[in-house]
Structure 1
Amino acid sequence: MASTTGTGVAFSVGRFSSPVTTPTIRKFRWSYSKSTVSPVFAAVGSRQSSIIHTESGSENGVVLKDSPSGTTQNFEPEDGRLRLKDYFEQSGQLISRSDGGPPRWFSPLECGSRLKDSPLLLYLPGIDGVGLGLTLHHERLGKMFDIWCLHIPITDRTSFTDLVKLVESTVKLEYSRAPNSPIYLVGESLGACLALAVAARNPDIDLILILANPATSFKKSMLLQHILLPLSIMIPQQLRFRWPYVLSLLSGGPSKMVASTMGKGLPLQQMIGELSQNSLAMSSYLSVVSDLFTTETLMWKLDILKSAAAFANSRLHAVKAQTLILSSGQDQLLPSKEEGERLHKLLPKCDIRTFDYSGHALFLMVSILTATSIYRRGRSHNYVLDYFPPTPSEFQRIHDPHRWVEAVTNPVFLSTLENGKIVRSLAGIPSEGPVLYVGYHMMLGLELTPMVSRIWTERKILLRGLAHPLMFTKLKEGRLPSLSAYDTYRSMGAVPVTAANLFRLFSSKSHVLLYPGGAREALHRKGEEYKLFWPEQSEFVRMAARFGAKIVPFGSVGEDDIGQLLLDYNDLRKIPYFKVGIEELTNEAVKLRTDAIGEVANQDFHLPIVLPKIPGRFYYYFGKPIETEGRKQDLRSREKAHELYVEVKSEVEKCLEYLKEKRENDPYRNILALLTYQATHGFDSEVPTFYI
């Protein structure tokens, strides 16, 4: 794939001799640059295709070589990033400059900087057929995938079965070239049916399906089946100027526009301005469509949607591919939420995410891929190598629902510099990895959100937490929360706690978070606040020494300032109803430390009953980093390794004791005092704490 700067789309100028055969396909990329335009021809028949020809073009615009008129259009976003108005402008461009068929693949220009061994992603569009449904995420997804998008011209009349054969032939060809890499079929609405059909016909190919609001529920749609379809037959051709607005509804244009703008968290005035720009762009898009969109076209679109649903539904039993379904709770076209639940039960390797407040249109975001751990480049998912950290905007979306925790607890962060000085900041945390943070787990892990977010925002460091496997795997359905409850943790880089994953994290020089006390510490009993429950073995010391990782001991206190244990594990076990529930929860979870003895091995899962208090502050103290560089040989001795292990544990206990003592002198420990200070000095001001 060519490396070219600018913003634009790539479009196939190759022709199929028939919609069901696959000769060498050629992709035509349009490059948009203020200085030059370089249409680049590259063969699609090979994933590692070379540039065949380049050509200079027009100043400040683009000459569309596939267009008979060769007209020019300026298409350079002000800040270099695509906006929703670009989606409408590009859509109008493809519609106006493409002929009547056949369908063809194109590769967006922004998707040109992918990693080595990136898997192929085939995007299968909805009923609009344009193929630009991932526009706002092309640049980000392009770093992870080799993206090909299917474009079905608006006047094309290729049948659904022939579309299936077209995609299938591409899948087979590309899989034969890279049999160890999965192929992703990402489809919305009609495209989801297309992906299911191809997967059913090719159960032996490693396919991963990501389906947004599948149109397999077409027969259950009151709007499509019982209103639009009869109207398309009854209303005369003279009223065809109304149909483009129907198509915009089918493609989810308005909901995409609102959702995209609202999701940015812009100031009100800027938000209104962007909505206005998007509305103008959408109007221009609809005016282009109106020239080509007829009553016959609408009837064809609805008819192919009906055929697609019937074809896919009849073959669901043959789908063996790993599948992720994205369902909208406010879809006005299809009963997508109910359909997602139905498919989730029918498909053997299926996961589902429901977006209760979204409409028909859904954009695939990288955060969804990382949250569900569905992205992989090989035969199996690697939690370290296949992970992509969030961008600042993605982090904001992930973190926003949890900001209330920081607002309520107003955490105080302390760290230790190399000279031993304690400072109210995170300046003492090492910048370069590998680093291992070892500390105390508050009740239910309440300390995690403020700590991970503060380290990210203040030091631009992502903590990769070693987490219990129940966040990644369920042995069976039951009382445990669904895996979606842990999406935030996986999005922020949590991995299952295993020696292999710790090795991989250290190898990649990561900052790793470890709680040796695990579930036993996070589910402690009455009177056990701030007590460590560590195993006897020095599990992490020699691994850290092998890579010369710094070990940062830390403590966090404050759980007893926001709640009091009313019924703990011992109390609940005495009540028959809760006792049965504890046993069921424990049997559903993957077991850890099965060979351990003592308290740390007692990790029965339960939900303690906590009596809330008037909230107080959280306090964090990161001790002086402990060096393991150069101690690899020395720490091979079990005795020496155990000595360091005991030293780390002792430092964590000292951090806890320091915070418990010092917080007694904090005049703003209580939330009422905090709010009073903030009301006087401003809610963005830093609230003082005890003297260091």
Structure 2
Amino acid sequence: MARRKDGGPPRWLSPIECGDAGGRVPGAPTLFYLPGIDGVGLGLIRHHEKLAKMFELWCLHIPVEDRTSFEGLVEYVETTVKSESSRAPDRPVYLVAESVGACIALAVAVRNPDIDLVLVLVNPGTSFHNSQLQTLSAFLDLVPEPFHLTTPQLLNFLTGNFMNMPLTFIGRGLSLEEAGQTLSDITSSLFASLLFLVDILTKESIVWKLKMLKTASSFVNSRLHAVKAQTLVLASGNDELLPSSQEAERLRGALEKCRTRLFRDKGHKILLEDEFDLATTIKGAGYYRRSRKTDFVSDYLPPTPDELQQAINRDRVLNFITDPVLLSTLPDGKIVRGLAGLPREGPAVLVGYHMLLGLELGPMVTGVLSSTGVHIRGLAHPVIFDKNSEQLMPHSAYFDLHRILGAVPVTGANFYKLLADKEFVLLYPGGAREALHRKGEEYKLFWPEQPEFVRMASRFGATIIPFGVVGEDDIGDLLLDYNDIQKLPFYGMLDEALNRDDLKLSCGFKGLIPWGS
């Protein structure tokens, strides 16, 4: 069947599955998706159902034969964003955008610094001038159709993920023979798909897109200093078209409110790749909110089954080595194996001792949730939520699962809100100091003399559940502790960075021990 000619104009579409607001959270903000070079919004295929539970979802559709300029697209998106901001002034407007779409999103942010925007930029095209695409348009002029699709850059773009499929299948437990058969089955349909791409990605269309991307990149790069929007850059480590990992670091330094997430094994079409979840990434980075400011209590969305399984998998090795056993006490004082003695209704405050490095935290929270359905919300050190602290960790997403599982900054206001919502609240009065205890301090408490959480708990009639952990402090011996590490060169700068938020911690909630005390 011949493709229907569609020369435009650009328009907003909402996936049919996203039309029913029945499963959407109350007060959901609006998300506008701006596609990449394909223009038709393929990147939403794997994500729209989950996103539709968190957002009112719209996708910009740019017909293949449309020739609206970059400036025209910016004005079109800007008009929509202004209208939405006026309709719901107390909510942010989200722009999730790929490659050239990211340039459009940044341009809209430049022109509208007073609108509450949240940008999620996926492999942004701002790195065009440092990419392979810079020279591609020159080669395309010399290559007749349909052979333009055989240029190395476009072949990488079209088949890069396809060539990585055998490793994906093997990683899922398939043998080489099974992976080969699966790959053979997919290959049978590849030729037809490439013929379809010849029809869709004409040389004229690609040349137009590349020229627009060049214009867009130049426009935005000269105005990055004017972007005030909250921004999250998602970068692929194996991007076949753009130097996205380096660009993410550049944008993090150039934009006022920018965080990054690097996916080392992903390619340019990360939104179409398996094992990448856009909704989870937004939640984990702490970028989901329904009002002017992030409220870690009211904006929180419970983990999905997939997210809970991801957290369980993170601690799989630790659980295998330690084989933890959970015990609880019944109302008559009898200790039983399992959590039969744990209340099922809040409010409640679980108060305990931090073992070495706080290794008990993950298995305890996931173990309670998966076995009883009780969701424990932890009061956590502000370092977990600090932008600059991410750069001190092995990777920027190091604390994302903590946020997905419900951790909130430890402040009196957050403690109050959680109890008012009848939540189960996890509190370590000894704080990070207890988790980072020194030689000879095994099983030693660092609790304040006046634990003021008791007064707050009594105000709401909350059940106080003391708990402890045995064995974690015995699994190894400390070779270096705080006293030894502080003697190392350059430690002073690291110590200052880690303790930078102590005022925020102690002013917000009294009776807690600072990080490095």
2:164 is the alignment partner of 1:268:
no
2:440 is the alignment partner of 1:440:
no
* Counterpart contact for 1:474–1:590, Cα < 8 Å: no
Please name the residue that 1:293 is paired with. Answer: 201
2:280 is the alignment partner of 1:372:
no
Cα distance 1:578–1:309, how it changes in 2: closer, same or farther (>3 A)?
closer
Cα distance 1:444–1:298, how it changes in 2: closer, same or farther (>3 A)?
same
* Counterpart contact for 1:258–1:275, Cα < 8 Å: no
Alignment counterpart, residue 219 of structure 2, candidates 302, 311, 315: 311
Alignment counterpart, residue 459 of structure 1, candidates 353, 369, 372: 372
Please name the residue that 2:100 is paired with. Answer: 190
Alignment counterpart, residue 151 of structure 1, candidates 61, 65, 68: 61
* Counterpart contact for 1:474–1:589, Cα < 8 Å: no
Cα distance 1:578–1:351, how it changes in 2: closer, same or farther (>3 A)?
closer
Pairing 1:388-407 to 2, within 5 Å after superposition: 388-407=301-320
2:23 is the alignment partner of 1:100:
no
Please name the residue that 1:534 is paired with. Answer: 447
**TM-superposition CA deviations, 1:516-549 (whole Å, max 9, x none):** 1112321223332222222222422233233332
* Counterpart contact for 2:379–2:427, Cα < 8 Å: yes
Helix, strand or coil for the counterpart of 2:242?
A: coil
Helix, strand or coil for the counterpart of 1:516?
A: coil
**TM-superposition CA deviations, 1:469-512 (whole Å, max 9, x none):** 11112578986777643222112110001121112222333222
Cα distance 1:497–1:604, how it changes in 2: closer, same or farther (>3 A)?
closer
Match for 1:393: what amino acid? D
Helix, strand or coil for the counterpart of 2:477?
A: strand
Cα distance 1:283–1:460, how it changes in 2: closer, same or farther (>3 A)?
farther
In 2, the alpha carbon distance for the partners of 1:150 and 1:207 equals 17
Please name the residue that 2:418 is paired with. Answer: 505
Alignment counterpart, residue 350 of structure 1, candidates 258, 276, 287: 258
Please name the residue that 1:133 is paired with. Answer: 43
Please name the residue that 1:605 is paired with. Answer: 516
In 1, the alpha carbon distance for the partners of 2:220 and 2:159 equals 25
* Counterpart contact for 1:466–1:514, Cα < 8 Å: yes
Please name the residue that 1:611 is paired with. Answer: none
In 1, the alpha carbon distance for the partners of 2:166 and 2:341 equals 39
Cα distance 1:497–1:594, how it changes in 2: closer, same or farther (>3 A)?
closer
In 1, the alpha carbon distance for the partners of 2:506 and 2:200 equals 65
* Counterpart contact for 1:218–1:334, Cα < 8 Å: yes
Helix, strand or coil for the counterpart of 1:437?
A: strand
Alignment counterpart, residue 229 of structure 1, candidates 131, 137, 151: 137
In 1, the alpha carbon distance for the partners of 2:124 and 2:490 equals 40
Pairing 1:202-221 to 2, within 5 Å after superposition: 202-221=112-131
In 2, the alpha carbon distance for the partners of 1:380 and 1:276 equals 51
* Counterpart contact for 2:390–2:398, Cα < 8 Å: no
In 2, the alpha carbon distance for the partners of 1:336 and 1:309 equals 14
Cα distance 1:105–1:265, how it changes in 2: closer, same or farther (>3 A)?
farther
**TM-superposition CA deviations, 1:379-426 (whole Å, max 9, x none):** 000101111122111222344233211122111211122333222212
Please name the residue that 1:5 is paired with. Answer: none
Query: Cα distance, 1:356 vs. partner?
Result: 1.2
2:479 is the alignment partner of 1:569:
no
2:501 is the alignment partner of 1:589:
yes
In 1, the alpha carbon distance for the partners of 2:393 and 2:355 equals 20
* Counterpart contact for 1:389–1:493, Cα < 8 Å: yes
TM-score calculated relative to the size of structure 1: 0.67
Alignment counterpart, residue 16 of structure 2, candidates 109, 133, 158: 109
Query: Cα distance, 1:263 vs. partner?
Result: 9.9
In 2, the alpha carbon distance for the partners of 1:426 and 1:585 equals 39
**TM-superposition CA deviations, 1:262-282 (whole Å, max 9, x none):** 499855389888767766676
Cα distance 1:355–1:478, how it changes in 2: closer, same or farther (>3 A)?
closer
Please name the residue that 1:302 is paired with. Answer: 210
Alignment counterpart, residue 492 of structure 1, candidates 405, 430, 433: 405
Please name the residue that 2:274 is paired with. Answer: none
Q: Give percent identity, aligned residues only.
A: 52
Query: Cα distance, 1:559 vs. partner?
Result: 2.6
Pairing 1:240-279 to 2, within 5 Å after superposition: 249-250=156-157, 255=161, 262=168, 266-268=172-174
Unaligned runs of 5+ in 2: 272-276
**TM-superposition CA deviations, 1:172-199 (whole Å, max 9, x none):** 1111111121111110111111111111
Pairing 1:627-642 to 2, within 5 Å after superposition: none
Please name the residue that 1:580 is paired with. Answer: 492
2:230 is the alignment partner of 1:322:
yes
Structure (1 or 2) with the larger CA radius of gyration: 1
Match for 2:231: what amino acid? T
Does 296-305 or 438-447 show the bigger shift?
296-305
In 2, the alpha carbon distance for the partners of 1:344 and 1:210 equals 13
Please name the residue that 1:13 is paired with. Answer: none
* Counterpart contact for 1:480–1:588, Cα < 8 Å: no
Cα distance 1:285–1:97, how it changes in 2: closer, same or farther (>3 A)?
farther
* Counterpart contact for 2:389–2:497, Cα < 8 Å: no
Unaligned runs of 5+ in 1: 1-68, 70-94, 607-692
* Counterpart contact for 1:477–1:588, Cα < 8 Å: no
Cα distance 1:210–1:586, how it changes in 2: closer, same or farther (>3 A)?
closer
* Counterpart contact for 1:544–1:550, Cα < 8 Å: yes
**TM-superposition CA deviations, 1:634-663 (whole Å, max 9, x none):** xxxxxxxxxxxxxxxxxxxxxxxxxxxxxx
Cα distance 1:532–1:389, how it changes in 2: closer, same or farther (>3 A)?
same
In 2, the alpha carbon distance for the partners of 1:260 and 1:541 equals 57
In 1, the alpha carbon distance for the partners of 2:52 and 2:496 equals 43
Match for 1:288: what amino acid? F
Helix, strand or coil for the counterpart of 2:270?
A: coil
Helix, strand or coil for the counterpart of 2:466?
A: strand
**TM-superposition CA deviations, 1:19-51 (whole Å, max 9, x none):** xxxxxxxxxxxxxxxxxxxxxxxxxxxxxxxxx
Cα distance 1:380–1:124, how it changes in 2: closer, same or farther (>3 A)?
same
Alignment counterpart, residue 465 of structure 2, candidates 537, 547, 552: 552
Does 498-507 or 278-287 show the bigger shift?
278-287
**TM-superposition CA deviations, 1:274-327 (whole Å, max 9, x none):** 767766676555443333432212211222222221122122121111111111
In 1, the alpha carbon distance for the partners of 2:50 and 2:473 equals 42
Alignment counterpart, residue 423 of structure 1, candidates 328, 332, 336: 336
Alignment counterpart, residue 386 of structure 1, candidates 287, 292, 299: 299
TM-score calculated relative to the size of structure 2: 0.88
Cα distance 1:234–1:405, how it changes in 2: closer, same or farther (>3 A)?
same
Cα distance 1:352–1:478, how it changes in 2: closer, same or farther (>3 A)?
closer
Please name the residue that 1:122 is paired with. Answer: 32
Q: How many residues are treated as equivalent by the alignment?
A: 506
Cα distance 1:263–1:445, how it changes in 2: closer, same or farther (>3 A)?
farther
Helix, strand or coil for the counterpart of 2:514?
A: coil
* Counterpart contact for 2:307–2:404, Cα < 8 Å: no
In 2, the alpha carbon distance for the partners of 1:380 and 1:601 equals 26
**TM-superposition CA deviations, 1:104-143 (whole Å, max 9, x none):** 1101122233223211111000001111312212111111
Please name the residue that 1:171 is paired with. Answer: 81
Cα distance 1:482–1:359, how it changes in 2: closer, same or farther (>3 A)?
closer
Bigger relative contact order (CA 8 A; separation at least 6): 2
